[in-house]
Amino acid sequence: MPARAYNTQAGSWDLSGAKFVDGGVNFCCFSRHATAVELLLFDGPTTPQPFQVIELDARVHKTFFFWHVLVEDLPEGTCYGWRMDGPTNTAESGCRFDPDKLLLDPWCTTVDDRLWDRDAARRPGDNLATAMRSVLLRDAYDWEGDVHLHVPLTEAVIYEMHVGELTRHPSADTPHPGTFRAVVEKIPYLKDLGITHVELLPVMAYDLQDVPPTTAALGLENFWGYSTHSFFAPHPHYACDPAGARDELRDMVKALHRAGIGVILDVVYNHTAEGGSDGPVISLKGMGNEIFYHLDAADLTQYRDYTGCGNTVNCNHPLVTRYLIDSLHYWAHDMHVDGFRFDLASAMARGEDGEPEHHAPVLWSIELSPELGHAHVIAEAWDAAGLYQVGDFPGFRWAEWNGHFRDVVRAFVRGDKGLIQHVATRIAGSSDLYEAQARLPANSINFITCHDGFTLYDLVAYNDKHNQANGEDNRDGHDDNLSWNCGAEGPTDDPEILALRRRQAKNLMAILLLSQGVPMLLAGDELLRTKQGNNNTYCQNNELSWIDWRLGEDNRDMLAFTRAMIALRKRHPTLRRERFLTGKPDREGAPPDIAWHGVRLDDPGWDDGNAQTLAFMLAGLAEDEPHLHVMLNMWDQPLDFALPHLDGRGWYLALDTGQEPAVQPLEQQPAVHDGRYRVGARSVVVLEGR
């Protein structure tokens, strides 16, 4: 195709990315130390050569550290990329300019990676034929009146899920498996389950090819998506039409909102797909490596790695902070997302010197941003270099994944002794972590399982991880899972072991949904989904990871149990308290908001190093709300628990994980007499007092 040229003007420095303006398209990107900058324009995402290369003159096209140009009358659908040259003395400057590499626009909202070759971007030389392209599209989406739901976390039941895992299995029976459109088809199921929010594993554009060589040799890819390269663009592989990824994601958000379900994104701002010194040049590394990444002060060719992924984003540099905040504002405002879960968020608390900062600018900018004032902000409050901030994450509004809750409840249910003080603290909302800082129970995101680790079923079916399929000699993934296989490792035909596993899974689910704070479920746990003991399926885009929806029939008792537990939580405001429990009455004439017991009343046995039982009574918040009495017996023998006396009320059995069915319909709950209840071995019982 013959070259053609569009006329250009100087453009503006204060419109980041590519924006349609009067007369054309304004392009702008950042590079402090670049000495030569080119904008390359392509007819399409797979066109091998640009139809125009625009050389920017610093005297006309550079303002401060921003490079900009306006291209007149440029049509929608044009693809583009940048090339930059500059200092190559990386050891002295930290710069990594490579004029042979085509760079993505860090602000692009649509990206096409059909030509992408990660290895070519790692090697010296021209990668024009194998680079990703930024796609220029107008934005005229019709939200049809959609608004954020603003459901408070106090009312939330979060469902962590992966877009691909949800619908790639043939049993999902969808014409568009693994896409945003297929998620829409599953909305009736999600609504029936009772969850209030989905928390989506990364949906920003990421590098499928970012896996170790031994993993790639097995034909595996980066499936989970914790390898972001574009912080404004949806992942094109989740769209039926890559060019329409932005609007297909919006369609999904709009449909979820119509069903009353909020959308939380798992965002990865702590590192990027560009990796370490041997990683590819994609965008930021070739524009401002010395600014966007933490570099080793003793050797600027090396990266400080607080993430375990080769690099760490220098989040608290002023420009980087602004860039990340702009990204969040875009997803909240333009994409109508309701909240964010920040992967390895403690890496974002590190200052430019790598040391933790309690007043980290990026975190407090998120905390105090008016544009994010109604967005949920949730921290994975640790990083891969040992910084653990659960209970001490900077800010007050931030909720945190409560790793203490996960670990204590797992250990208690598997049968560890002497934990009941810790169990009580976690069930009551983890006041030890949050109350002294004027935080609330909703600051605690309680979970038993998440994407990272065993599924709920594998937690009760395996003692050890079995990650050989990942190609890393079983070295990857967590070694200490606080799991128990109930007597056999993995698959078994033993009916007693299988029954115990189901009961243990229900015990864990019950405790999660009976605890103060915000419960988060892992997608598929309600179906007793297994990954065959693999606790790190980040690279398994296959049936090992995909949810098999036939399990809904095979394990319909667990699915019914989960639905019923969520419904029980929703009909009892006392399980969703906004303030911490005090042990005192909420109102005159009411019992204490919580009273702790054991097998005997008023005798929880706090100092008993062998204790494996705990009971507590929660008073209804309102006069007409039933009280709840919860009994936990993790001993291997049944025990008779004494019941509190109720004036003018009686106890009725709501659930007993030692029975089948475990949950009693509200209108059919049997009365419990005689002041005692026998709780079976390794069982959870809940009574309603009305």
Q: Is the pLDDT of residue 3 over 90?
A: no
pLDDT at 1: 44
- The 10s digit of each residue's pLDDT in 280-328 is 999 999 999 999 999 999 999 999 999 999 999 999 999 999 999 999 9
Q: What pLDDT is attached to residue 4?
A: 81
Q: Which residues are catalytic?
A: 343, 380
CA dihedral 191, 195, 197, 200 (to 10 degrees): -90
What secondary structure letter does DSSP report for 334?
Answer: I
What are the pLDDT digits (tens) for 52-102?
999 999 999 999 999 999 999 999 999 999 999 999 899 999 999 999 999
261 C-beta neighbours (distance < 10 Å), count: 20
Instruction: Give the CA angle between residues 649, 652, 658 to the nearest 5°.
Output: 150
- Per residue in 525-536, pLDDT (tens digit) is 999 999 999 999
DSSP code of residue 323: H
- How far apart are the C-alpha atoms of 181 and 593, rounded to whole Å? 45
Average per-residue pLDDT for the chain: 97
Q: Where are the beta strands (DSSP E) in 492-534?
A: 518-522
Residue-wise pLDDT tens digits, 658-682: 999 999 999 999 999 989 999 999 9
Name the architecture of domain 8-135.
Sandwich (2.60)
Residue 653 scores a pLDDT above 90: yes
Tell me how far apart the alpha carbons of residues 560 and 124 are, in angstroms, rounded to a whole number. 57
Q: How far apart are CA 99 and CA 95, in angstroms?
A: 12
pLDDT of 443 > 70? The answer is: yes
Residue 648: DSSP 8-state: T
Instruction: Report d(CA 247, CA 228) in Å as an integer.
Output: 19
Q: Which backbone phi and psi does 237 adopt, to 5 degrees? A: -80, -5
Which is the CATH superfamily of the domain at 153-479+505-574?
A: Glycosidases (3.20.20.80)
Rounded to a whole number of angstroms, the distance between the first and last alpha carbons of the chain is 80
Tokens of 2: 């013959």
Rounded to an integer, what distance in angstroms lies between the CA atom of residue 284 and that of residue 232? 14
- Would you list the DSSP string of 220-242? ----S---BS-SSSB-GGGSSSG
Three-state SS at 154? helix
Among residues 583, 441, 564, which one has the least CA distance to residue 513? 564
Q: Would you say the CATH fold of 582-689 matches that of 8-135?
A: yes
Per-residue H/E/C for 365-430: HHHHCHHHCCCEEEECCECCCCCECCCCCCCCCCEEECHHHHHHHHHHHHCCCCCHHHHHHHHCCC
322: left (phi over 0), alpha (psi -120 to 50) or beta: alpha
- Beta-sheet pairing, 376-379 with 339-342: parallel
Contact 315, 268 (CB under 8 A): no
| Dist. CA 583–CA 46, nearest whole Å | 66
What average pLDDT does this structure show over 393-409?
A: 97
Q: Is 527 helix (H, G, I), strand (E, B) or coil?
A: helix
pLDDT score recorded for residue 683: 98
Separation CA 96–CA 648 (nearest Å):
76
CATH for the 582-689 domain, from 3.30.420.10, 3.90.79.10, 3.30.70.580, 2.60.40.1180:
2.60.40.1180
Q: Percentage of residues in the chain with pLDDT exceeding 70?
A: 100
What 3-state DSSP class applies to 40?
strand
CA-CA-CA-CA torsion sign (567, 568, 569, 572): positive
Q: How far apart are CA 102 and CA 117, in angstroms?
A: 12
Q: Where are the domains of the chain?
A: 8-135, 153-479+505-574, 582-689
CA pair distance 605, 607, nearest whole angstrom: 5
User: Mind listing the pLDDT tens digit for each residue in 491-548?
Assistant: 999 999 999 999 999 999 999 999 999 999 999 999 999 999 999 999 999 999 999 9
pLDDT of residue 2 exceeding 70: no
Helix axes 495-513, 556-571, angle to 10 degrees: 20
pLDDT in tens, 452-464: 999 999 999 999 9
pTM: 0.97
For residues 336-363, give the mean pLDDT: 97
